[in-house]
């Protein structure tokens, strides 16, 4: 009898909410949902609505907060440096890259330096960003090294030197929380011990955990992606877990931070056909609306893309996405803009290398050798010096410069190189970069002779000799991720070379575009890069 009353109450509440919601809020039905990856339309539509994904690129393990009228999101970066990327938006849909919190990822471990380079798929995993005591705080985990933190007065930095909070192996997905009395807490998953979720008090400076306070507050199959909030007197613990072989969003709540916790309650359906939107951050707009910025737990070549889901509160619980008949959220592909958009913005991509520092879209593969690149030696150009790799292989070569790619209808990346400084043995060019898979179109120098070379993990194709020093390399791909490389001697007429390459996922990362340069013979040499232009459908 009691169970029937609860079901009837939930059904009446759901009906009331659906009748009262604006008609367009969940206008797009599952029937009209796009085939996964067919992002012919995405982001701000310019008519007061947006379409998911809001960013069709690899921004994994996202978290999000609002401070004033600005929104800040952070994303894991693994072995790339600088690490822990920070994005900024005025409306939760139009995003730009603000910077990074970790300048030197070798402070996590020497293995993250160009001298070792053996942490693919590790490094900076999921974390969180919070605003407390007039400062921004970030916390994240490395699966081998433990939990780390940093803080800054401004989100663009400067950030304090990285500090190790918890030096134990086997932990992930942490999140800080400060209560009204100023007491700080950290929640995180001990995945090496059956995915137990632990809650700790922190010291006043947020730099250490008080071990005697440790309490396990939840455990289930794959329980992680932790966030902790206090809303209307309740402590809400948001997380994800695996149910029926799919990852879903879950939540438990309590009046006391230590529990007992009520629930857990399932907030969203896993929906594997939509790659299980599951990890992210709850955020409230200036006008009181609630949203969930999430990644899709995809393993395809575009990585874990970002979507924004409206949130409906039912009986004191947030429902992520469109509530179904069971009061559980489902994927929403189109909705009104959360905040009236002022202008469309996009993450930075193209670079003419005219600035004094690298633009924030760039991330090196591992911590680079800092004296082997320059933006000042030749004004308006990036100079990369070649040095000996750990092995004769792009994945073992230091100072490979990368940025994310996007999954849109048409993508064109064009790079202009000057090869006049190349030395014998040197290899350089443009790459679709990942681990273990990759493809390159570039140049190999032997005793002053430069030849075109196309390589993948499984093949090497040697091309014609390059006459002259200025060469353009181009890659073009579409929604299917099939890349075609080409080259030009005048920047106008391009000739394809090499086999079509299917962009790939690997080491928890989607594909990246990269500029590489190394010399297995150790004889040095250099290349200059005038620009990288990246044009994609918006």
CB 311 within 8 A of CB 21: no
What is the CATH superfamily name and number for domain 43-336? Glycosyl hydrolase domain; family 43 (2.115.10.20)
What is the radius of gyration, based on Cα positions, of the chain?
24
The pLDDT value recorded for residue 125 is: 98
The two structure tokens encoding residue 475: 């890659």
The pLDDT value recorded for residue 30 is: 43
* CA end-to-end span of the chain: 54
User: Could you tell me the pTM of the whole model?
Assistant: 0.93
The CB-side HSE value for 113 (13 A sphere, CA atoms) comes to 9
Nearest CA to 263 out of 303, 306, 310, 316 is that of: 316
CB 130 within 8 A of CB 155: no
What are the angstrom distances between the C-alpha of 435 and each of 58, 78, 431, 471, 473? Answer: 15, 12, 12, 27, 22
CATH 2.115.10.20 residue ranges of the chain are: 43-336
Question: Where in the sequence numbering do the catalytic residues fall?
Answer: 61, 224
The pLDDT value recorded for residue 32 is: 77
Structural fold of domain 363-536: Jelly Rolls (2.60.120)
- Other beta carbons within 10 angstroms of residue 348's beta carbon come to 14
The pLDDT value recorded for residue 22 is: 38
The pLDDT value recorded for residue 4 is: 44
The per-residue pLDDT for range 469-490, each reduced to its tens digit, is 999 999 999 999 999 999 999 9
Partners of residue 530 on adjacent β-strands = none
What are the angstrom distances between the C-alpha of 404 and each of 97, 442, 524? Answer: 11, 20, 28
Regions in the chain scoring below 50 on pLDDT: 1-31
Looking at the chain, the whole-number percentage of residues with pLDDT higher than 70 is 94
CATH 2.60.120.200 residue ranges of the chain are: 363-536
The pLDDT value recorded for residue 6 is: 39
In three-state secondary structure terms, 273 is: helix
* φ, ψ (nearest 5 deg) of residue 200: -125, 150
How is 385-431 classified by DSSP, letter by letter? E----SSSSGGG-S--EEEE-B-SS-EEEEEEEE-TT--TT-EEEEE
Nearest CA to 228 out of 252, 246, 206 is that of: 252
Q: What angle do CA 515, 399, 442 make, to 5 degrees?
A: 30
What are the angstrom distances between the C-alpha of 1 and each of 15, 144, 470? Answer: 21, 51, 80
């Amino acid at each position: 009898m009691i169970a029937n009353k609860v079901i009837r109450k939930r059904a009446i509440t759901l009906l009331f909410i659906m009748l009262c919601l604006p008609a367009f809020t969940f206008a797009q039905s599952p029937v009209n949902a796009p085939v996964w990856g067919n992002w012919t339309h995405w982001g701000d539509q310019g008519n007061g609505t947006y379409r998911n994904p809001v960013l069709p690129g690899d921004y994994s393990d996202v978290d999000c907060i609002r401070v004033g009228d600005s929104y800040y999101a952070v994303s894991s970066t693994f072995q790339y440096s600088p690490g822990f990327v920070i994005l900024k938006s005025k409306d939760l849909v139009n995003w730009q890259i603000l910077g990074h919190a970790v300048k030197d990822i070798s402070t996590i471990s020497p293995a993250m330096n160009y001298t070792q380079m053996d942490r693919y798929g590790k490094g900076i995993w999921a974390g969180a960003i919070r605003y407390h005591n007039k400062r921004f705080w970030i916390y994240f985990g490395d699966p081998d090294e433990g939990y780390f933190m940093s803080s800054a007065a401004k989100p663009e930095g400067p950030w304090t030197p990285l500090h190790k909070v918890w030096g134990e192996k086997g932990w992930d997905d942490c999140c800080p929380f400060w209560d009204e009395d100023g007491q700080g807490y950290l929640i995180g998953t001990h995945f090496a011990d059956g995915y137990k979720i632990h809650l700790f008090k922190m010291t006043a400076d947020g730099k250490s955990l008080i071990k005697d306070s440790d309490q396990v507050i939840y455990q289930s199959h794959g329980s992680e992606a932790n966030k902790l909030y206090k809303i209307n007197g309740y402590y809400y613990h948001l997380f994800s877990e695996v149910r029926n072989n799919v990852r879903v969003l879950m939540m438990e709540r309590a009046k006391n931070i230590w529990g007992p916790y009520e629930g857990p309650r399932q907030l969203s359906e896993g929906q594997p056909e939509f790659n299980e939107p599951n990890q992210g951050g709850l955020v409230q707009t200036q006008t009181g609306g609630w949203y969930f910025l999430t990644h899709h737990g995809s393993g395809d070549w575009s990585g874990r893309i970002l979507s924004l889901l409206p949130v409906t509160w039912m009986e004191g619980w947030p429902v992520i996405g469109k509530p179904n008949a069971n009061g559980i959220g489902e994927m929403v592909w189109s909705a009104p803009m959360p905040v009236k958009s002022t202008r469309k913005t996009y993450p930075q991509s193209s670079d003419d290398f005219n600035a004094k520092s690298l633009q924030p879209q760039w991330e090196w593969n591992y911590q680079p050798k800092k004296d082997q690149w320059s933006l000042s030696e030749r004004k308006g150009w990036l100079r990369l010096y070649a040095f000996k790799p750990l092995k004769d292989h792009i994945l073992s070569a230091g100072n490979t410069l990368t940025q994310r790619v996007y999954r849109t209808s048409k993508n064109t990346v064009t790079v202009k190189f000057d090869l006049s400084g190349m030395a014998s043995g040197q290899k350089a060019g443009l790459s679709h970069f990942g681990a273990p898979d990759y493809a390159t179109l570039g140049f190999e120098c032997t005793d002053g002779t430069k030849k075109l070379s196309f390589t993948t993990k499984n093949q090497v194709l040697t091309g014609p000799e390059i006459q002259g020093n200025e060469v353009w390399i181009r890659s073009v791909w579409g929604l299917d991720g099939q890349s075609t490389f080409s080259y030009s001697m005048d920047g106008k007429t391009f000739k394809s070379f090499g086999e079509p390459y299917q962009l790939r996922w690997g080491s928890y990362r989607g594909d990246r575009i990269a500029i590489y340069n190394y010399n297995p013979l150790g004889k040095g040499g250099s290349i200059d890069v005038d620009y990288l232009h990246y044009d994609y459908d918006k």
